[in-house]
A and B are shown apart, each in its own frame.
Chain A
Amino acid sequence: MSRFFAKLLAAFALLAAFPAVAQPVDTGHLEAELVARDQSIAPGATTYVALRQKIDKGWHTYWRNSGDSGEATRIEWTLPPGWTAGDIVWPAPKRQPTGPLMNYGYQDEVLLPVPVTAPAGAKPGETVTLKAAATFLVCEEICVPEDAVLTISLPVREGLAEQNPAWGAAIAKTLAEAPAPAGLDAAFQKKADGSLALAITGAPLKGADMADAYFFPFDSTVIDHAKPQAIERGPEGLTLAITAGYAFQQPETPKTLAGVLTVGGKSYEVSAAEGPLPPAASGLGPPPAKRGGSDDGALGLPLAVAFAFLGGLILNLMPCVFPILAMKAASLAGHAHERRAAQGQGIAFLAGVLATFLVLAGVLIAIRAGGAAVGWGFQLQSPPVVAGLALLMLAVALNLSGVFEVGASLQGVGSSLASSGGMVGAFFTGALAVIVAAPCTAPFMAPALGWALTQSAPAAIAVFLALGLGFAAPFALIAFAPGLLSRLPKPGPWMDGFKKLLAFPMFGAAAWLVWVLTLQSGETALARIFAAAVVLALALWLLGAAQRRQAAGGRPAVLTGLGALLVIVAALAAVWPNYGEGTAVATSAGSVGKASVPYEAYSREKLAAARAAGKPVFVNFTAAWCVTCQVNERVALTSQSVADAFKETGAVYLKADWTRKDAEIEQELAKHGRAGVPLYLVYGARGGDGVILPQILTEGLVVRALKDAQGR
Chain B
Amino acid sequence: MLTRSLALAAGFALAIAAPAAAAPAIGQPAPAFTAKDGDGKTRSLSEFKGKTVVLEWTNAGCPYVQKHYKSGNMQALQKSATKDGVVWLTLVSSAPGKQGYVSPAEAKTWKTSSGAGSTALLLDPGGQVGKAYDARTTPHMYVVDKSGKLAYMGGIDDKPVADPSSLKGAKNYVTAALSDIKAGRAVATPVSKPYGCSVKYAE
Asked whether B201 is an interface residue with its Cβ less than 8 Å from the other chain, the reply is yes
Asked whether A612 is an interface residue with its Cβ less than 8 Å from the other chain, the reply is yes
Minimum C-beta distance from B102 to chain A (A): 15
Query: Are A145 and B14 closer than 8 Å at their CB atoms?
Result: no
Sorting the interface of chain B by its residue count into under 10, 10 to 19, 20 to 34 or 35 or more gives: 35 or more
Closest B-chain residue to A96, C-beta based? B198
A686 to B203, CA, bound (A): 8
Query: Are A101 and B4 closer than 8 Å at their CB atoms?
Result: no
Q: Which residues of B contact A598 (CB under 8 A)?
A: 4-5, 8
Asked whether B167 is an interface residue with its Cβ less than 8 Å from the other chain, the reply is no
Annotate B125-155 by CB proximity to A: 1 below 8 A, 0 otherwise: 0000001000011000000000000000110
Partner of A99, one of B15, B137, B154, B203: B203
Asked whether A109 is an interface residue with its Cβ less than 8 Å from the other chain, the reply is no
Asked whether A288 is an interface residue with its Cβ less than 8 Å from the other chain, the reply is no
Asked whether A220 is an interface residue with its Cβ less than 8 Å from the other chain, the reply is yes
Closest A-chain residue to B203, C-beta based? A99
A141 to B161, CA, bound (A): 18
A600 to B12, CA, bound (A): 9
Asked whether A549 is an interface residue with its Cβ less than 8 Å from the other chain, the reply is no
Minimum C-beta distance from A465 to chain B (A): 44
Known: A71-B160, A598-B5, A609-B15. A142 touches B99 (CB 8 A): yes
Closest B-chain residue to A225, C-beta based? B136
- Please tell me which stretch of B46-54, B80-88, B111-119, B187-195 contacts chain A, meaning at least 4 of its Cβ atoms lie within 8 angstroms of it: B187-195
Q: Which residues of B contact A145 (CB under 8 A)?
A: 63, 162-163
The A interface, classified by DSSP as helix, strand, loop or mixed, is mixed
Closest A-chain residue to B138, C-beta based? A69
Partner of B15, one of A141, A220, A615: A615
A142 to B60, CA, bound (A): 12
- Please tell me which stretch of A243-251, A318-326, A448-456 contacts chain B, meaning at least 4 of its Cβ atoms lie within 8 angstroms of it: A243-251
Asked whether A68 is an interface residue with its Cβ less than 8 Å from the other chain, the reply is yes
Minimum C-beta distance from A443 to chain B (A): 31
Partner of A613, one of B8, B18, B99, B200: B18
Minimum C-beta distance from A499 to chain B (A): 47
Query: Are A70 and B19 closer than 8 Å at their CB atoms?
Result: no
Query: Are A612 and B19 closer than 8 Å at their CB atoms?
Result: yes
Contacting B at CB under 8 A, from A134-158, are 135, 137, 139, 141-145
A610 to B17, CA, bound (A): 11
Q: Which residues of B contact A295 (CB under 8 A)?
A: none
Asked whether B25 is an interface residue with its Cβ less than 8 Å from the other chain, the reply is yes
Q: Which residues of B contact A609 (CB under 8 A)?
A: 12, 15-16, 18-19
Query: Are B191 and A249 closer than 8 Å at their CB atoms?
Result: yes
Contacting B at CB under 8 A, from A98-152, are 98-101, 103, 135, 137, 139, 141-145
Query: Are A69 and B63 closer than 8 Å at their CB atoms?
Result: no
Q: Which residues of B contact A246 (CB under 8 A)?
A: 153-154, 191
Residues of B within 8 A of A (CB): 4-5, 8, 11-12, 14-16, 18-19, 22, 25-26, 61-64, 98-99, 131, 136-137, 153-154, 160-163, 189-203
| Sample of 24 A–B contacts (CB below 8 Å) | A68-B136, A69-B197, A69-B199, A135-B163, A137-B63, A141-B98, A142-B61, A142-B197, A143-B197, A144-B63, A145-B63, A221-B193, A246-B191, A247-B191, A249-B26, A250-B189, A250-B190, A598-B4, A600-B12, A606-B12, A606-B15, A609-B15, A609-B16, A612-B15
Residues of A within 8 A of B (CB): 68-71, 74, 98-101, 103, 135, 137, 139, 141-145, 220-221, 246-247, 249-251, 598, 600, 605-606, 608-610, 612-613, 615, 652, 686
Closest 7 CB pairs of A and B: A613-B15, A69-B198, A609-B15, A145-B162, A99-B201, A246-B191, A68-B136
